[in-house]
Amino acid sequence: MRASISIRRTLVSAFFFVWLSSARGEDAGTFVFCSYNVRNWLKMERFVGGQRTLSDKPEEEKKAVIQILKDISPDVLGLCEVGDDQDVADLQKRLKQAAVDLPHVERVQGSDPVRSLALLSRYPIVARNSRSDLGYMIRGVAMPFHLQRGLLDATIELSQGFQVRFIGVHLKSMREVVEADQAVMRRHEATLLRAHLDQILLIAPKTKILCYGDFNEHRNEPAISIIMGKRSTDKHMLEIVPKDVNGQVWTHFWDAADSYARLDYVFSSRALRPHLNEDASQVYHQPDFLKASDHRPIVMPISNKR
């Protein structure tokens, strides 16, 4: 019985991607967005041969990431935990070799000197409003804090007259730091993001916004409520809840604690919501996803038709 259920779920996932491949493209009016924390696609200190040394993401992990993205074949790809321009170009080149050509790039880096955010697209980026200079103060702490990975803001014209503004973030990790409480830091970063969204929607209330990324926060925490805003207003960001083939929503696995959590989210402005099909969205899953990253990608079709 369990084997037949597993096979059936695998077939459901396979049919999902077959449907995407047939429905996608400018003529068909459906585009595939993917949000993915690729776990340190960058140069950093790692243990190699029993010694700590500065090195790239291991080759087997890179190949696993590319295989997953080849399977998804996104039109727009929002990335967390990428490094510098060379690292992004490396990922971009490997994707192209796997027949996933995403020539248009936006990258932003905050105060973190190692990790940045990137957006890769099959379609042109027509506006860039990313911020790397956002900061805040915490009461009782003299030093200023900065949005560590910056705030990525790029508008893409998916088809003629149909533009979507993609806003990506990677909020403060759950690792404790001596400077301040890490949860308080996330709330301040969430407030900066909310202010950015408010400014956009005040000037242009009909803007189609997709806000995505690794929020490093559980659903019931204040940071998520801050980002979504008041439900009674036109500026409220609506939550999209993709599920995997098992009906589960978790996006991150912490192996040291055997902990599964939903830390990656997608939020939509009211103007974009009619163009999204929550039931057709997925948390991508395959049994060996950990070979690539400790996060699972979110896959979401966007239609230029209501």
**Quick one: pLDDT at residue 17?**
66
**Quick one: pLDDT at residue 5?**
41
110 in Cβ contact with 144 (< 8 Å): no
**Quick one: pLDDT at residue 57?**
96
What is the average per-residue pLDDT within 92-97?
98
- Answer yes or no: is pLDDT of 31 > 70: yes
**Quick one: pLDDT at residue 23?**
64
What is the rounded distance in angstroms from the CA atom of residue 35 to the CA atom of residue 20?
A: 16
284 in Cβ contact with 245 (< 8 Å): no
CATH 3.40.50.10490, applies to 2-303: no
**By mean pLDDT, which of 89-98, 130-139, 170-179 is the weakest?**
170-179
Q: Which has the higher per-residue pLDDT, 71 or 26?
A: 71
**By mean pLDDT, which of 3-7, 143-147, 180-184, 249-253 is the weakest?**
3-7
Q: How confident is the model at residue 20 (pLDDT cuts 50, 70, 90)?
A: low
Question: DSSP character for 243?
Answer: B
pTM over 0.85: yes
Q: What is the mean pLDDT of the chain?
A: 91
**Quick one: pLDDT at residue 14?**
60
What is the average per-residue pLDDT within 93-111?
97
216 in Cβ contact with 186 (< 8 Å): yes
Element (H, E) at 124: none
- Answer yes or no: is pLDDT of 6 > 70: no
Indicate left, alpha or beta for 136 from its phi (over 0: left) and psi (-120 to 50: alpha).
beta
**Quick one: pLDDT at residue 85?**
97
Write out the E strands in the chain.
Answer: 30-41, 44-48, 51-55, 76-82, 104-108, 116-121, 125-128, 135-136, 145-146, 152-159, 162-170, 209-214, 238-240, 252-254, 259-261, 264-268, 282-283, 298-303
**Cα angle vertex 197, ends 283, 241, to 5°?**
20
What is the rounded distance in angstroms from the CA atom of residue 300 to the CA atom of residue 76?
A: 10
Q: How confident is the model at residue 16 (pLDDT cuts 50, 70, 90)?
A: low
Q: How confident is the model at residue 24 (pLDDT cuts 50, 70, 90)?
A: confident
Q: Where are the domains of the chain?
A: 2-303
β-pairing, 76-82 vs 30-41, is: parallel
